[in-house]
Amino acid sequence: MKSAILALSLLATSALAAPGTAHRRARHDRRMASGRRSQPIIRSNTTAPKFGPDAQSNVQYSTNWAGAALVGSGYTGVTGTFTVPNPQSPDGDDGNSYSASAWVGLDGYTCETAILQTGVDFTVQDGEVSYDAWYEWYPDYAYDFSGIDFSAGDVVTVTVKATSKTGGTATIQNQSSGQKVSHTFRNQRSGSLCETNAEWIVEDFEEGDSLVPLVNFGTVVFTNAYATTSSGTVGVSGAQIVDMSTSGGSSGIEATASVSGNSEVVVKYV
């Protein structure tokens, strides 16, 4: 009798768990099949003055990036810490999957031969929120980390370090749970870094051959945002600001960015 009750209990538990498990498997299979990948900035040919407290720089409009980018030489590392958002489906949700990604990276703003980057994707589908940690050496695809989980409100530090122009490391640490994962790149043949850009970005990334529908990610704030050069550590003051726009210009704004002080990048969904 006890065995029968136990069997029924396990069956019921499996039935309850199945929808979520099936959804996660489907999402994983979709990411693998579609080839999830970040892209260099897709920019318009115009910039415009940015007024107000974040007027350190002209704004560059982009259809896939929002955030801040340093432009110079000899950048070998980038780090930043952010709180995992609780994303929402945008107004007029039609049941599609909506996503965005917060990441730090080297190159991709003025140099497009390679990007060393790592970050966290946040997705909403049918009311269910999911998070995926990944690493990437563009133009190769992104690959998911295993062994790390996230919940809304977790504090996460993302870091990349270049050991050469064809090698480096990508590390993500969930400060709230203590989980930490890292990947080492060696002798990348797909492309070489220029080490001329350091970025803190929220991206409308690519799956298949198109950008994913953008999720309402609220606000992502990168704190302790610093880059490393051969001369030492540099902050974000004076970084190029990038706003995301469906039109590639001042109309159709989807996300805005600003820099606060020397160590904070604020990205807001509009």
Give the up-direction half-sphere exposure of residue 252: CA atoms within 13 A in the CB hemisphere: 12
Q: How far is residue 248 from each of residues 59, 219, 227, 241, measured CA to CA in Å?
A: 11, 21, 27, 14
pLDDT for the residue 95: 76
- Output the tens digit of pLDDT for each of the chain's 270 residues: 333 333 433 333 333 333 333 444 455 555 555 578 899 999 875 556 555 544 445 799 999 999 999 999 999 999 999 999 999 998 767 778 999 999 999 999 999 999 999 999 999 998 899 999 999 999 999 999 999 999 999 999 999 999 999 999 999 999 999 999 999 999 999 999 999 999 999 999 999 888 999 999 999 999 999 999 989 999 999 999 999 997 666 668 999 999 999 999 999 999
pLDDT for the residue 4: 39
The total of other beta-carbon atoms located within 10 Å of residue 33's CB is 10
- CA nearest to 120, candidates 176, 69, 62, 167: 176
Q: How far apart are CA 266 and CA 251, in angstroms?
A: 20
CA 155 to chain centre: 14
Q: Classify burial at 240, counting beta carbons within 10 Å of its beta carbon; exposed 0-12, middle 13-18, buried 19 or more.
A: buried
Question: Which DSSP state fits 249?
Answer: S
Please state the pTM of the whole predicted model: 0.85
Place of tokens 């690519």: 206
* Residues that are catalytic: 203
Place of tokens 């990437």: 136
Query: 35-269: which CATH topology?
Result: Jelly Rolls (2.60.120)
pLDDT for the residue 235: 98
Quick check: 170 and 180 in contact, CB under 8 A?
A: no
Q: How far apart are CA 31 and CA 219, in angstroms?
A: 25
Q: How far apart are CA 150 and CA 220, in angstroms?
A: 15
CB-based contacts of 153, cutoff 8 Å, min separation 6 = 83, 84, 86, 176
At 20-62, the pLDDT tens digits run 334 444 555 555 555 788 999 998 755 565 555 444 457 999 9
pLDDT for the residue 56: 46
pLDDT for the residue 31: 52
Q: How far apart are CA 224 and CA 245, in angstroms?
A: 27
Pairing mode, strands 219-229 and 43-48: unpaired
The DSSP bridge partners found for residue 144 are 134
pLDDT for the residue 13: 32
Ramachandran area for residue 166 (φ above 0: left; ψ -120 to 50: alpha; else beta): alpha
Q: How far apart are CA 144 and CA 123, in angstroms?
A: 14
| Triad 82, 57, 236: Cα angle to 5° | 35
